[in-house]
């Protein structure tokens, strides 16, 4: 099957596969053996005893959840219905990037270093805002501002 190594990360066994051939055999031939997720107390307490799609054990229930997500939440109709939200949030993100770059470059015009912008945070905000607007009708960043105003 190729080179493989079984490691133990604490009490969790971890199988390391070092070749594509062995990986292919494991994920195709022995898929059911390796397809399950480990049980964590966190998911039992927070995710209603692992009833969400991210933590549910592989089986009929997980396949039913996946089917619901694909047919309803991720259908072409739903994706198209969120197009305007994605387009507007992307436009706002680009506008904010340009505004930040111009303000950073004007403030650092005396120094020789170029402005630095953390794109990871910007893309995370974009993702959160699109998901929240599409599913809840309001931006994630707006909800955070409301929380800060209440404090």
The domain segmentation of the chain, as residue ranges, is: 1-35, 41-74, 83-107+115-150
Residue 44 φ/ψ, nearest 5 degrees: -65, -40
Query: What is the rounded distance in angstroms from the CA atom of residue 81 to the CA atom of residue 87?
Result: 11
Cut 0.75: pTM above it: no
- Confidence check: pLDDT of 151 > 60: no
Of 33, 54, 35, which is closest to residue 43 (Cα–Cα)?
54
40 within 8 A of 56, measured Cβ to Cβ: no
* Token pair for 57: 């054990």
- Confidence check: pLDDT of 4 > 80: yes
Query: What is the rounded distance in angstroms from the CA atom of residue 101 to the CA atom of residue 107?
Result: 10
- For 112-127, how does the pLDDT look when each residue is reduced to its tens digit (9 = 90+)? 566 678 899 999 999 9
pLDDT band at 143 (very low <50, low <70, confident <90, very high): low
Query: What is the rounded distance in angstroms from the CA atom of residue 105 to the CA atom of residue 117?
Result: 11
- For 16-35, how does the pLDDT look when each residue is reduced to its tens digit (9 = 90+)? 988 888 888 888 888 777 77
Query: What is the rounded distance in angstroms from the CA atom of residue 117 to the CA atom of residue 125?
Result: 14
Distances (CA, A) of 47 to 40, 44, 52, 59, 62: 10, 6, 6, 17, 14
Three-class secondary structure of residue 40 per DSSP:
coil
Q: What is the mean pLDDT of the chain?
A: 83
Alpha helices in 30-75 (DSSP H): 31-34, 41-46, 60-68
pLDDT given at position 141: 74
**49 against 38, higher pLDDT:** 49
Three-class secondary structure of residue 134 per DSSP:
helix
pLDDT band at 148 (very low <50, low <70, confident <90, very high): very low
* Token pair for 34: 């390796």
């Amino acid at each position: 099957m190729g080179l493989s190594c079984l490691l133990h990360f604490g009490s969790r066994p971890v199988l390391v596969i070092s070749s594509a051939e062995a990986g292919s055999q494991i994920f195709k031939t022995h898929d059911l053996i390796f397809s399950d997720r480990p049980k964590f107390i966190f998911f039992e307490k927070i995710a209603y005893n692992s009833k969400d799609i991210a933590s549910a054990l592989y089986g009929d229930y997980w396949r039913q959840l996946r089917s619901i997500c694909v047919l309803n939440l991720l259908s072409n109709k739903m994706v198209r219905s969120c197009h305007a939200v994605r387009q507007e949030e992307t436009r706002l993100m680009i506008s904010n990037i340009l505004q930040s770059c111009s303000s950073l470059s004007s403030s650092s015009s005396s120094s020789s270093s170029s402005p630095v912008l953390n794109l990871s945070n910007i893309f995370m905000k974009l993702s959160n805002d699109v998901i929240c607007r599409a599913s809840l009708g309001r931006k994630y960043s707006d909800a955070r501002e409301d929380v800060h105003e209440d404090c």
